[in-house]
Amino acid sequence: MQHTTVRAVVVATAMLGLSVPAAVMADWEPTKPVEFVVPAGTGGGADQMARFVQGLIAKHNLMKQPMVVVNKSGGAGGEGFLYVKESKGDPHKIVITLSNLFTTPLATGIPFNWKDLTPVSMLALDEFVLWVNADSPYKTAKEYLAAIKAGNDGQFKMAGTGSKQEDQIITVALDKFTGKKFTYVPFKGGGDVAVQLVGGHVNSTVNNPIEAVAHWRAGKLRPLCVFDDKRMPYKEKVTDTMSWHDIPTCKESGVNVDYLMLRGIFMPGGVSADQVNFYVNLFKKMRALPEWSEFMASGAFNQSFMSGKEYADWVQKAEDTHKTLMKDAGFLAK
Amino acid sequence: MEEFNSLMQGFSVALTYHNLLFMLVGILLGVLIGVLPGLGGANGVAILLPLTFTMPPTSAIIMLSCIYWGALFGGAITSILFNIPGEPWSVATTFDGHPMAKSGRAGEALTAAFTSSFVGALFAVIMITFLAPLVAKFSLKFGPPEFFAVQLLTFCSFVGLGKGHPAKTISAMMLGFALAAVGLDTVTGTLRMTFGTSELLRGFDFLIAVIGLFGIGEILLTMEEGLAFKGVHARINPRVVLQTWAQLPKFWLTALRATLIGCWMGITPGGATPASFMSYGIAKRFSKTGEKFGTGEIEGVVAPETAAHAAGTSALLPMLTLGIPGSPTAAVLLGGLLIWGLQPGPLLFVEQKEFVWGLIASMYIGNIAGLLIVLTTVPWWAAILRVPFSIIAPVIVVICAIGAYTVHNAMLDVVMMMVFGVVGYLFKKLDYPLAPMVLALVLGDMAESSFRQSMLLSRGEVSIFWSNGLVGSICGLAMLMLFWPVISKVLARMRRGNNELDEARPVE
């Protein structure tokens, strides 16, 4: 019961916040250093974003108190989420999420749900792209998937980050589409995954743009399609001939699979509306900085921004999607 | 000689006043971070990373990489003085470094450690300078079976070394494997042996185990022997550096082997920790005085330190050319590159010449500066041993506790450290070797995932481990290492039997 009331208050004030200038609303401020929890290891996508945010906020003096990044990556991020959950009512902790916000509790059964936290705002969504080695004969997603359909179960190998997480969820969705099974090989980080593909040890990956872009530009990897319902908006040339915008969506190629990963901010449960608002405004200010736009472009992020009820609704929908996907794939903890 | 010209340009970038200043700051901070167990290069660099966003990228990476060099140097200090590895790659340094310190040769051990670190790093940088594109291609050949082969080689070059009972060695190793298995299984994504507690989610960290087993265990042992720091008449002689240097050239072969192992492990990327273990194991096996290893042989300090520093340095190569970090610290630096707007990867060498060569030049200067700084501190470090045990022991325990806490910011880790300390004490009392357990704890995880990834790739065919020349020869080498004691005995007998067959020497 408590969760729902907290959420109702959050939602109401967040909606108010949208119509009132930031300066008037910022009546609560952190009184001690803010702990920025990263439920993933150092060097990964979430960690990079958190440290970038920390640097931007410090550089532009957006907050009087310092922000300290803390990695709690144990149990596929479960350690970090449980830590924030246990800090109920502490406004000096925020956590950045990746898809493990949903996948970790579903796959491992740890006692955690995003409703234990207070949604603050979405920072961006991370895209997923289907990549093959540039030496492989497949020029389009259609060709590649046709080859899979014509091949045997397990003949094609997909490398991805972690097990029962976003990469494998997409792989299973592709399995469903082709009717054949990929051999899914989990690795620790997205960088390793991309290199395994460059080295020709696997047939394809679903790396995030930022993880594979360097190899794409060096002519080692080829993007086939992006798992989004519209193309990425970045029209600047990344390689000699192509921009992110030139990559077709998988839907255009007849593959009805889309998936985006949340890069969002949450606070512990039981915090006041004022406190949530402080962070909502903080991230709004940060997103207006030119450095942030550059960072978004470099990783070809989907720049959706939400807060308040809209955000909570989005998260709820995303959770439902994950539940269905993971149930179908047989990934739910028993 | 295009590389040479680029390098000269790099020096002109690195040798500006403010870059030299950043270098100095970086080294000093790094040594400090290396000395404090648990803080670690990765954490140190991560904490300072946001401060560098306002700096030009070249200065920023120079400072951060110098922290890394400093930490590599500094890790050896506490290993030698107090048997507490400041960094995971310094564990192997304790095996001979600490006995040396105990017998009053701390200055010698420190000088040997620093100098061989420098030699390892220097060779690795030279390799990066001239062979970068070639080496990058080689590292692409490494898939899961090759990684497993490398880990197998590390184990094989290390097992059978101890003088203890084989059954004790095996049980210590099994305990290490069991501890490594706690936490999330990366291959199936399910939790193992966490017994429903959230504290066990993160598993047992190698660093915490090592701080406890070695550091606290050592203190408990010393306490039992009476509250006096025995056997340390640390002669403090400013000429100890020169005297040690005079002894070092005869270990050139050990250093060369260690450098090769280190460079290889840094590139593939296996990391500095396995490199130091493997190098120690192989040095012991091939050294003339191998049976004295563990009692305070200089060679036993040279081998792991050279390899660790060579690996630590060459770990930056896959980071720059492929965008994969060869070590946790490199992973953090990689994040830094992205934030400064640089894209690590094959094109970095083409598009960001000034940055890349400035960094490489700073590796040369940074390591020379680092060596000079740490060598001047040798007498001071050695002097710490003169402080009475009753004063220094509580300080060490506090530093250990802080170190254990910083690894994950978790209080339970401090408790775990104490428990490991008692385990370490019991192991010593019952004559169980610690090294195999530590090795299994640090490599068990990696070896397990590479093995299972390989099995997934081959769909259960073990033949994947000899499916191509590369993986086959590493596995072959591993087997050779494992059975070396037997092989060498057989060979010796054969040679005695027929002296005329002298050509039939082992192909090594």
Question: Which residues, 6 or more positions from A177, have their beta carbon under 8 angstroms from its beta carbon?
Answer: A145, A255, A256, A257
Q: Are A142 and A213 found together in one domain? A: yes
In a domain, A321, yes or no: yes
Give the pLDDT score at B97: 92
**Contact call for residues A224 and A132 (beta carbons, < 8 A):** yes
Give the pLDDT score at B236: 56
A192 touching B (Cβ < 8 Å): yes
- Distance from C-alpha of B136 to C-alpha of B156, rounded to nearest angstrom: 27
Q: Pick the residue from chain B with its C-alpha nearest to A185.
A: B453
Rg (CA), chain B: 22
Q: Pick the residue from chain A with its C-alpha nearest to B193.
A: A75
Strand pairing report for A204-205 and A157-161: parallel
Question: Which residues, 6 or more positions from A1, have their beta carbon under 8 angstroms from its beta carbon?
Answer: none
- Distance from C-alpha of B310 to C-alpha of B276, rounded to nearest angstrom: 10
Q: Which residues of chain A are within 8 Å of residue B341 when distances are taken between CB atoms?
A: 294, 298
Q: Do A73 and B338 touch (CB under 8 A)?
A: no
What's A68's domain CATH number?
A: 3.40.190.150
A195 touching B (Cβ < 8 Å): yes
Q: Which residues of chain B are within 8 Å of residue A290 when distances are taken between CB atoms?
A: none
Chain A, 221-280: which have a CB under 8 Å from a chain B CB?
Answer: none
Of B201, B322, B348, the CB nearest to A79: B201
- Distance from C-alpha of A195 to C-alpha of B247, rounded to nearest angstrom: 43
A333 touching B (Cβ < 8 Å): yes
Q: Which two tokens stand for residue B229?
A: 């720091």
Q: Are A122 and A139 found together in one domain? A: no
Give the pLDDT score at B76: 87
Q: Do B140 and A184 touch (CB under 8 A)?
A: no
Q: Pick the residue from chain A with its C-alpha nearest to B448.
A: A187
Q: Which residues of chain A are within 8 Å of residue B449 when distances are taken between CB atoms?
A: 186, 188
Q: Are A288 and A218 found together in one domain? A: no
A with B: how many residue pairs have Cβ under 8 Å apart?
163
Rg (CA), chain A: 20
* Domain extents in chain B: 2-228+238-497
Please tell me whether residue B110 adopts helix, strand or coil conformation.
helix
Q: Pick the residue from chain A with its C-alpha nearest to B452.
A: A185
Give the pLDDT score at A13: 45
Question: Which residues, 6 or more positions from B507, have their beta carbon under 8 angstroms from its beta carbon?
Answer: none
Question: Which residues, 6 or more positions from A163, have their beta carbon under 8 angstroms from its beta carbon?
Answer: A107, A186, B185, B186, B187, B188, B189
Of B51, B201, B323, the CB nearest to A214: B323
Of A42, A108, A187, the CB nearest to B191: A108
- Distance from C-alpha of B55 to C-alpha of B50, rounded to nearest angstrom: 10
Q: Do B335 and A43 touch (CB under 8 A)?
A: yes
Please tell me whether residue B27 adopts helix, strand or coil conformation.
helix
**Contact call for residues B273 and B442 (beta carbons, < 8 A):** yes
Q: Are A153 and A229 found together in one domain? A: yes
Give the pLDDT score at B46: 77
Q: Which residues of chain B are within 8 Å of residue A51 when distances are taken between CB atoms?
A: 46, 49-50, 335, 339
Of A40, A96, A94, which Cα lies nearest the Cα of A67?
Answer: A94
Q: Which residues of chain B are within 8 Å of residue A189 when distances are taken between CB atoms?
A: 324, 331
> Could you list the residue range(s) of the whole structural domain that residue A15 is in?
2-126+260-329
Q: Pick the residue from chain B with its C-alpha nearest to A297.
A: B341
Question: Which residues, 6 or more positions from B8, have their beta carbon under 8 angstroms from its beta carbon?
Answer: none
**Contact call for residues A121 and A306 (beta carbons, < 8 A):** yes
Considering A187, A216, A246, which residue would you say is the last residue of a domain?
A: A246
Q: Are A106 and A141 found together in one domain? A: no
Question: Which residues, 6 or more positions from A8, have their beta carbon under 8 angstroms from its beta carbon?
Answer: none
**Contact call for residues A278 and A10 (beta carbons, < 8 A):** no
**Contact call for residues A132 and A204 (beta carbons, < 8 A):** yes
- Distance from C-alpha of A69 to C-alpha of A91, rounded to nearest angstrom: 15
In a domain, A272, yes or no: yes
Q: Are A143 and A122 found together in one domain? A: no
Q: Could you tell me the CA-to-CA distances from A131 to A207, A243, A255, A282, B36 in Å, in that order?
A: 7, 15, 14, 36, 43
Sheet with A117-126, edge to edge strand ranges: A67-71, A34-38, A93-96, A261-268, A117-126
In a domain, A312, yes or no: yes
Q: Are A20 and A73 found together in one domain? A: yes
Please tell me whether residue A71 adopts helix, strand or coil conformation.
strand
Q: Which residues of chain A are within 8 Å of residue B324 when distances are taken between CB atoms?
A: 189, 191-192, 194-195
Considering A246, A277, A296, which residue would you say is the last residue of a domain?
A: A246
What's A235's domain CATH number?
A: 3.40.190.10
Query: For residue A36, what are the β-bridge partners?
Result: A69, A94
**Contact call for residues A204 and A130 (beta carbons, < 8 A):** yes
How many domains are contained in chain A? 2
Of A88, A104, A109, A95, which Cα lies nearest the Cα of A49?
Answer: A95
Q: Average pLDDT of each block of 10 consecutive residues along chain B (508 residues)?
A: 80 85 90 77 77 82 87 86 81 90 87 93 90 80 90 81 75 90 83 81 84 88 70 61 85 92 84 86 85 87 93 85 74 77 79 85 89 85 79 86 82 92 92 87 86 91 89 90 81 75 46
- Distance from C-alpha of B202 to C-alpha of A73, rounded to nearest angstrom: 7
In a domain, A214, yes or no: yes
Stated as kind and residue range, the H or E segment containing B348 is helix B348-351
**Contact call for residues B500 and B494 (beta carbons, < 8 A):** no
Q: Are A115 and A144 found together in one domain? A: no
ipTM for the complex shown: 0.84
Please tell me whether residue A266 adopts helix, strand or coil conformation.
strand
Please tell me whether residue A119 adopts helix, strand or coil conformation.
strand
A52 touching B (Cβ < 8 Å): yes
Q: Which two tokens stand for residue B34?
A: 């290396």
In our burial notation (b when 16+ CB lie closer than 10 A, e otherwise), range B142-155 reads: bbbbbbbbbbbbbb
- Supply the DSSP symbol for B36: S
Q: Do B189 and A76 touch (CB under 8 A)?
A: yes
Stated as kind and residue range, the H or E segment containing A183 is strand A183-187
**Residues of chain A with confidence (pLDDT) below 70:** 1-26, 43
